[in-house]
Amino acid sequence: MSATISRLRIGVLGSGSGSNMQSILDAIEAGRLEAVLACVLSDVPDAGILERARRHGVPAFHVDPAPFRTKLDGEAEQRYIATLRQHGVDTVVLAGFMRIVKRGLLTAFPQRVLNIHPALLPSFPGLAAWQQALDHGVKITGCTVHFVDEGTDSGPIILQRCVPVKDDDTPASLHARIQVEEHLAYPEALRLLASGQLRCEGRRVLLRSNGA
Ligand code: GAR
């Protein structure tokens, strides 16, 4: 992994409201993250993430994911890769993108596809991780930022933040508390990536000081 990239050119893929994308944009605009948000792509035509991005002047597009329902593959994958490349993206950030990404995207952006997951992986991969945490009865959950590999929520972990589970939590209240931590975690993980401090050793993502 290169230690030399200083200003990331980020392309965000999302399907939902885009609060994580917003936290990244806020960090860039506040000068806390050396990056450019080059474009935002969504598989959902009226996703809030597109509207939020456009309000900040970020190019934002619905890119047709057909014919698949739960994955990004084949010609749809190529459409996403082409749009990301047209915008000079070097780092792909999945932020509530509710599809499994496949080898084509990972090969096009090697070790440069990140995801955020609303649980402390490897616990509760997949959908509605906050509901899974409640159902299991854990007392602590959280969020994980990780590099994406070909599995589901299984790639090397960059950082995690903890969230207590309260006795009176509902799925919505727990997810809201997790999201507060997500909005700190994603900009911080990207800051570490941009500063060249991340080093992969097998499954472990380690921190090094600059120049080491
Ligand atoms: C986030 O909580 C993110 O962790 C989750 O979707 C939400 C998107 O919110 N992602 C997954 O569950 C992926 N498996 P946002 O659109 O407000 O950023």
Q: Where are the domains of the chain?
A: 8-202
174: Cβ contacts below 8 Å, ≥ 6 apart? 130, 133, 134, 141, 163, 165, 166
Give the CATH fold of the 8-202 domain: Rossmann fold (3.40.50)
CA of 24 to the centre of ligand 1 (A): 14
Q: Does pLDDT of 3 surpass 50?
A: no
Q: Does pLDDT of 160 surpass 70?
A: yes
Which atom of ligand 1 has the smallest separation from the CA of 128? 12
Q: How do residues 76-128 score in pLDDT, each as one tens digit?
A: 999 999 999 999 999 999 999 999 999 999 999 999 999 999 999 999 999 99
Q: How do residues 4-23 score in pLDDT, each as one tens digit?
A: 556 999 999 999 999 999 99
CA of 118 to the centre of ligand 1 (A): 7
Q: Does pLDDT of 148 surpass 60?
A: yes
Which atom of ligand 1 has the smallest separation from the CA of 175? 2
42 lines ligand 1 (CB under 6 A): no
pTM, two decimals, is 0.95
| Catalytic residue IDs | 117
At residue 2, the pLDDT reads 45
CA of 45 to the centre of ligand 1 (A): 17
Q: Does pLDDT of 209 surpass 90?
A: no
- The residue whose C-alpha atom lies closest to atom 5 belonging to ligand 1 is 96
131 lines ligand 1 (CB under 6 A): no
Q: Does pLDDT of 32 surpass 50?
A: yes
At residue 208, the pLDDT reads 85
118 lines ligand 1 (CB under 6 A): yes
Percent pLDDT > 90 in the chain is: 95
